[in-house]
Structure 1
């Protein structure tokens, strides 16, 4: 009888460990699964955190990559699909949201680099502005699809055409992972640090 109890206990421990390994990460009440699929490629959650501004929680964000890595340079150079998942934590106007993204681009790129991707910035901005607002709980997916481009999906609906310039997706990543990130704590968390 004791042997069965030990076996049952061991099985329960293994089951609990397995469920922890596949459990979603909770960020400010938003669940981020450990994996996601983009263009038939399985991606792993590299990190997730909250973007705060003047003490207000603005959105929760997760970064999905083909494999975990902890440096911005390695992320930029990693081949394959990528996903940025953002869920708003308060009501936002889309003009407010896109203006913050463009400000992040300006902080992390010299003017000539921005000028070279301006058509992509304009296309992304126009796709976002087809929405008037992003109420609390709006999901924004910004995917890199090899051979396709940057794809924007908001609330489950694809917005605009894919933007083929790979430099644009790399530029977007620098908003959160660049030398002057939108939020230093969020940058650390997206890079996989819990502190």
Structure 2
């Protein structure tokens, strides 16, 4: 009895932070609720699963300095950012790269389009060289102020940083644009509950 009472008292004495959620699950993948990019602490804004028809393709999470629940709030926010994907199935590298570049072009903003061309080309080349994105592999794209967008595959930097912020904005619009990859996923990445029952192709 004494041990039980002591256990309860000790648990009540723990700081509030000890009870805070430290991970969020999406498609069987756990995303840390905080991370660090270029010395800046970032918060998990939202996470979800990208489906193609009925198949899970990857889980993705967005990290920002401060949470935002609108596309403009995410895209226009200053500071470091991170897009983190974890593959849930094997996908041909060229096919994945084409899906990303098509999504960027489809959602491009007219006055930024010219400044995205260089970055979209370099990004596509990275996936062409990758050959295959295997299930379980991680693909991150960090926005580092003053440096650019750095692609990181399984913890290793790949390629040179892409300097144009317009490229990174276009990348975010794959999931947050007017024609997003998946409407449900868009809501989840904005930290909201999904509203739609259908799946985007």
Structure 2 length-normalised TM: 0.88
Q: Which residue number in structure 1 is paired with residue 145 of structure 2?
A: 146
CA deviation string 1:125-173 (max 9, x = no partner): 1122221101101100100000000000111221110011111101110
Q: Whole-Å Cα distance in 2 between the matches of residues 13 and 185 of structure 1?
A: 38
Q: Whole-Å Cα distance in 2 between the matches of residues 14 and 23 of structure 1?
A: 19
Q: Does 1:175 align with 2:174?
A: yes
Q: Which runs of 5+ in 1 are unaligned?
A: none
Q: Which residue number in structure 1 is paired with residue 199 of structure 2?
A: none
Give matches, 1:117-136, under 5 Å: 117-136=116-135
Q: Whole-Å Cα distance in 1 between the matches of residues 12 and 185 of structure 2?
A: 33
Number of residue pairs the alignment of both structures matches: 194
Structure 1 length-normalised TM: 0.90
CA shift, 1:74, in A, is 1.1
CA shift, 1:13, in A, is 4.7
Q: Whole-Å Cα distance in 2 between the matches of residues 145 and 71 of structure 1?
A: 21
Q: Whole-Å Cα distance in 1 between the matches of residues 68 and 6 of structure 2?
A: 37
- Check whether the contact 2:37–2:80 (CA below 8 A) recurs between aligned residues: yes
Q: Which runs of 5+ in 2 are unaligned?
A: 195-201
Which 4+ stretches in 1 moved above 4 angstroms?
Answer: 2-8, 13-17, 110-113
Classify the secondary structure of the residue corresponding to 2:47.
strand
CA shift, 1:3, in A, is 11
